[in-house]
Amino acid sequence: MIKTSILDAGKLQEFTKERKLQPFRVKQIYQEVFKNQNINFADMTTLSKDLREDLDKEFSVVTLEVDKILEDESTTKIWFQTHDGFMIEAVIIYHRQDEKYNKNDEKKLNRITLCISSQVGCPMGCLFCVTGKLGFKRNLTRDEMISQIFYANKYIKDKFGKQDDGTLFGVRNVVFMGMGEPLLNYENVKKAIEIMLRQEAGFSLSKRHVTISTAGIIPGIRQLIKDEIPVKLAISLHAPNQALRDKLMPIAKAYPLEALERVLSDYVKASDNRIFYEYIMIKNMTDKPELARELVTMLRRKLAHVNLIPYNNNPAISLTESDAKDIQIFKKILEEGGLTVTVRDSMGRQMKWACGQLWYEKLTKEEE
């Protein structure tokens, strides 16, 4: 039996009215879920035992089943199964800083990012992405996206407990950079973001801590402008000219680079937000110095930051990561051209759960 999501406010109100519960009980339930990071009703000890049992019969907090969890020092990869048998993935990323006064020279946990999926599979078919090779199955619902955060927060609480200030460790940043193209699932993504930012019955995340990563779906970006969605925007650019972008990303033919630049200019004017441009470093393809100079010409005097992403080598795709020295040369050209640049540390890459690698295990099994 598929239970009702606890996020269904109408059903929850009906539930409380039928049992003649006080209105504050709804607030109490959501406090357990969002603040106390409990996903099992049995653990919600501020509620009576009878209420917990009744809730458990009709509702669920996480609408996904956990299939397996893989972990290294910097990341945790969670495989979820949907009610209709599909697999999706989310990745928790742990950011640590050196603790200056720690005599053991340990790194202190600074913040936690959750990379969530917005679709089952991906329709983009980008040359460098394993996930895209599996094609598109369906959109995820609002509740399925939020469930990834619910579960991650419970997992983080169990792993780390409380911070120095007494609050629980939990997800601080959410990025739509997992499986799928979020702007092709616009309405569900919008509804999920509303819950992420909401103070009451929400995660109370800062708008600066939610990022949508898109391959450049122009109608979706226009809708972001119209709806005044206040989160950050990351563009999977990967090429400074149309010919190379066509080769890397089939969507570039539908939404040409010139048109994408125009809508991004409109977005910056409307939001005053800096745009993050993702640029993949593939040996002898995207890492040439002349391409760096083209990128400078394209982005100079724009509200932009460039993230250089070393390609994550993968046996399923015959591409190679750029040499470290070539990445540094590329970076230097961008900086000398006046751009701000970061070479991204692709956490989880050795375990095949970094950018572009999701569903690696499934794909390699199908090709055996």
Averaged pLDDT of the chain: 91
Does residue 348 come out as left (phi exceeding 0), alpha (psi in the -120 to 50 range) or beta?
A: left
- C-alpha span between 227 and 235 (Å, rounded): 19
CB atoms under 10 Å from CB of 174, counted, come to 26
- C-alpha span between 300 and 124 (Å, rounded): 28
Q: At residue 107, does pLDDT exceed 60?
A: yes
What was the pLDDT predicted at 345? 76
Q: At residue 194, does pLDDT exceed 80?
A: yes
Q: How confident is the model over 52-60, as a mean pLDDT?
A: 97
Assess contact for 348 and 93: CB atoms under 8 A: yes
**Where along the chain do the CATH 3.20.20.70 domains lie?**
65-367
* DSSP H or E stretch at residue 362: helix 360-367
Confidence of residue 336 (pLDDT cuts 50, 70, 90): very high
Confidence of residue 5 (pLDDT cuts 50, 70, 90): very high
Q: Active-site residues: which are they?
A: 89, 355
What was the pLDDT predicted at 346? 57
Q: How confident is the model over 249-261, as a mean pLDDT?
A: 97
Alpha carbon separation from 51 to 25, 356, 364 (Å, rounded): 10, 44, 47
- Count the helices and strands in the chain (H runs, E runs): 12, 14
Q: At residue 105, does pLDDT exceed 80?
A: no
CATH number for the domain whose boundaries are 65-367: 3.20.20.70
Q: How confident is the model over 8-21, as a mean pLDDT?
A: 94
Confidence of residue 327 (pLDDT cuts 50, 70, 90): very high
Contacts of 48 (CB under 8 A, 6+ apart): none
Confidence of residue 101 (pLDDT cuts 50, 70, 90): very low
**Where along the chain do the CATH 1.10.150.530 domains lie?**
4-60
Give the rounded percent of residues in the chain with a pLDDT score beyond 70.
Answer: 91
Look up the pTM and report it: 0.92
- C-alpha span between 95 and 132 (Å, rounded): 27
Give, in words, the CATH class of 4-60.
Answer: mainly alpha
What was the pLDDT predicted at 271? 93
- C-alpha span between 335 and 132 (Å, rounded): 32
Confidence of residue 351 (pLDDT cuts 50, 70, 90): low
* DSSP H or E stretch at residue 59: strand 59-60
What was the pLDDT predicted at 106? 59
Residue type present at position 56: D
Q: How confident is the model over 102-129, as a mean pLDDT?
A: 86
What was the pLDDT predicted at 142? 98
CA angle 118, 120, 124 (to 5 degrees): 80
Q: At residue 360, does pLDDT exceed 60?
A: no
Q: How confident is the model over 266-282, as a mean pLDDT?
A: 96
- C-alpha span between 150 and 144 (Å, rounded): 10
What was the pLDDT predicted at 147? 98
- C-alpha span between 165 and 156 (Å, rounded): 16
Q: Tell me the backbone φ, ψ of residue 133, rounded to 5 degrees.
A: -65, -20
pLDDT in tens, 134-190: 889 999 999 999 999 999 999 999 999 999 999 999 999 999 999 999 999 999 999
pLDDT in tens, 201-254: 999 999 999 999 999 999 999 999 999 998 999 999 999 999 999 999 999 999
Assess contact for 178 and 113: CB atoms under 8 A: no
Q: What is the DSSP letter of 2?
A: P
Q: What is the DSSP letter of 34?
A: I
Give the rounded percent of residues in the chain with a pLDDT score beyond 90.
Answer: 83
Q: Which residues, listed in sequence order, are joined to residue 112 by a DSSP beta bridge?
A: 94
